[in-house]
Structure 1
Amino acid sequence: MTQIGHKLICEMHGPDDLVEYAQLTDESNFDFAMISDHYHPWTSSQGQSPMVWNVIGAISQATDGLRLGTGVTCPTTRIHPAIIAQAAATAGTQLPGQFFLGVGTGENLSEHVLGDRWPEHDVRLAKLEEAIDIIRTLWEGETASYDGEYYTVENARVYTLPDELPPIPIAADGPKTARVAGEVGDGLIAVNPDEDLVQEFETAGGGDKPKYGEVAVCYDEDEQAAIERAHDLWPQEGLPGELMWELPTPAHFEQATAAVSEDDIAGMVCCGADPDEHVEAIQEFVDAGFDRVTVHQIGSNQAEFVEFYDETVLPAVR
């Protein structure tokens, strides 16, 4: 049976609200939650960007049995992989058997803030592979040093380790990263219902590992209000090509999305309160081979969204 998750968006909600939404998820019929990891929001209208690891710690104390993963953390630039190893091990201890560390190659938007050069994709992918190796090495619980092509670790040991180490699924937007996810990851994460991506992942060793898709929706009884809100708060959904990974600041995203119209967003994001349309948006990922689909509700009406999904969408999907 396809598992359905609830996406908690740090770019749009403050820490206390995110904890409240995690509690809603925990008490609902959703199967899991994922939480984004950003330094900046995409646009200033989104207005937030709390430190995800603080929020995860708070969620662990406010929920009971919620399965939660990052969607996704970039462990290569803004934060050294040795620090991510410690942070994720702590999260796994606080959420025993319930935490997973979703990782990816990142976006310039959040990763350039320390003045590091933003390299081409092949380098970012190589850095990600090395970072995962460091994280898993430190999760062995011994004092370790690492002299890699991109990172150095000297006499480091992660003392606080969970009994069950977090899985590390990898986000992919193209075949090369999907192959790496199949080879070294514990799952696949993608934001497009791309059957070819799933096939690349499975062929490279993904097999029966989890495959997480993510779909953005905007529930509202007033469809036009939903379209307007999605356009105001999530316009980057309409950006083409590699702009999502390359633009460096919210101001640049605001300039780029000035050309994205409400009609563009209405054609890309499921807006309104027709349960059949929400089911269809999820089914696109299921048909492409994803066995887990995370739903991102655009806006602050999360309680109404969760109730709507509990009563109409989730039973229909299942």
Structure 2
Amino acid sequence: MVEIGYTLSSEEHGPTDLVEYAQRAEEAGFDFLSVSDHYHPWVSAQGHSPFVWSTLGGVATATESIDVGVGVSAPILRFHPAIYAQAAATAAAMFDDREFYAGVGTGENLNEHVLGDRWPAHAVRLEMLEEAIDVVRKLWTGREVSHYGEHYTVENAKLFTLPEEIPPICVSAYGERTARAAAAFGDGFWSVGPQEVVDVWEDEGGEGPRFCQLQACVADDEDEAVATAHETWPNSALPGELSTELATPSLFEQAVEMVSEDDIAGGSILTNPDPQAHIDSIQAAIDAGYDHVYTMQIGDDQAAMLDLYREDVLPSFS
């Protein structure tokens, strides 16, 4: 069964607004929500970055039945895995009998450097993530845990608040090595944009939900959408590993000076206001092998997407 979701963009909206958008997305008929976990926005124009675990408490009390995932956290530096285990368990418990998905990844320097820790190479971060997931799973048993690993130490820790159902840990992957690792120690797969490495994940025995985020800007016309996306989300057009390596919004702002509106118009952000374009984009992700496809509306006008999807897009997938 395919589920269609809506992104709560922590980089663009404050916590109270995110809670309101969660309510409106549920009313519009979306199946699930995904909320981003950032310490900084990518660029200052986005303007926000609330603490995701506090926001989730508001979402849990303001909504009734919609499923929720965090896409994604990095329980390796900014969050010690023992702290992440408690935060995610508490959030999952607040959603009671709903599905809660714990999306995790190796993170970005933008968010993870803030405690002054060295930013490791990706291969090291992947090792850290594997050990972190092991720690989280041990704590989610409810038993007292002591762990003395290569990267983490936990002493006499026990979680007393746990959800009735343990959340699946869905690992974010963009390359073949990470996809193989995600298949080995994850409970699902998480991606931004339909990544072909989902096939690698499946070939390596990966099982569980497969998440894919799409990016869009719905406006009155395509020119307005391109202008809004260029102003608010130019980081989408940055090449290579810049998104994981740059450390501050100011550095991203320097990097995106090379990004033009033409780059946005020809890039990954859907700016066509035609509902069929959105239906086709979602269907392409489904055809690529994803069963949880969610779309992010770039810019302040969240109502434009919510209304379009309620009236013209979601009925095609009901």
Residue identity over aligned pairs, in percent, reads 53
Amino acid aligned to 2:50: P
Structure 2 residue aligned with 1:226: 225
> Which segment is superposed worse, 283-292 or 223-232?
283-292
Q: TM-score, normalised by structure 1?
A: 0.97
Tell me the distance in 1 between the aligned counterparts of 2:211 and 2:162: 25
**1:221-272 superposed Cα distances (whole Å, 9 cap, x missing partner):** 2221111000001001100110110000001100111111101101121114
Aligned-partner SS, 1:205: coil
Structure 2 residue aligned with 1:102: 103
Aligned-partner SS, 2:211: strand
Quick check: 1:39 aligned with 2:39?
A: yes
Amino acid aligned to 2:126: L
Q: TM-score, normalised by structure 2?
A: 0.97
Amino acid aligned to 2:13: H
Tell me the distance in 2 between the aligned counterparts of 1:315 and 1:162: 32
Aligned-partner SS, 2:300: coil
Aligned-partner SS, 2:106: coil
In structure 1, stretches of 5+ residues that fail to align are none
Quick check: 1:86 aligned with 2:82?
A: no
CA displacement at 1:47 relative to structure 2: 0.5
Q: Is 1:224–1:272's contact at 8 Å kept on the other side of the alignment? A: no
Tell me the distance in 2 between the aligned counterparts of 1:3 and 1:137: 30
CA displacement at 1:68 relative to structure 2: 0.5
Aligned-partner SS, 1:150: coil
Q: Is 1:65–1:98's contact at 8 Å kept on the other side of the alignment? A: no
Q: Is 2:28–2:309's contact at 8 Å kept on the other side of the alignment? A: no
Aligned-partner SS, 1:244: helix
Tell me the distance in 2 between the aligned counterparts of 1:28 and 1:194: 28
CA displacement at 1:177 relative to structure 2: 1.1
Structure 2 residue aligned with 1:312: 312
Structure 1 residue aligned with 2:260: 261
Q: Is 1:221–1:272's contact at 8 Å kept on the other side of the alignment? A: no
CA displacement at 1:317 relative to structure 2: 4.3
Tell me the distance in 2 between the aligned counterparts of 1:67 and 1:21: 14
Tell me the distance in 2 between the aligned counterparts of 1:291 and 1:162: 24
Quick check: 1:235 aligned with 2:209?
A: no
**1:197-231 superposed Cα distances (whole Å, 9 cap, x missing partner):** 11111122214x21111110000122211110000
Tell me the distance in 2 between the aligned counterparts of 1:194 and 1:56: 27
Q: Is 2:30–2:66's contact at 8 Å kept on the other side of the alignment? A: no
CA displacement at 1:180 relative to structure 2: 1.4
**1:271-316 superposed Cα distances (whole Å, 9 cap, x missing partner):** 1411121122222212211111110010121123111111111223
Amino acid aligned to 1:161: L
CA displacement at 1:91 relative to structure 2: 0.6
The number of aligned residues is 316
In structure 2, stretches of 5+ residues that fail to align are none
Tell me the distance in 1 between the aligned counterparts of 2:316 and 2:66: 22
CA displacement at 1:186 relative to structure 2: 1.2
Structure 2 residue aligned with 1:24: 24
Amino acid aligned to 2:53: W
Q: Is 2:145–2:158's contact at 8 Å kept on the other side of the alignment? A: yes
Tell me the distance in 1 between the aligned counterparts of 2:300 and 2:23: 15
Structure 2 residue aligned with 1:191: 192
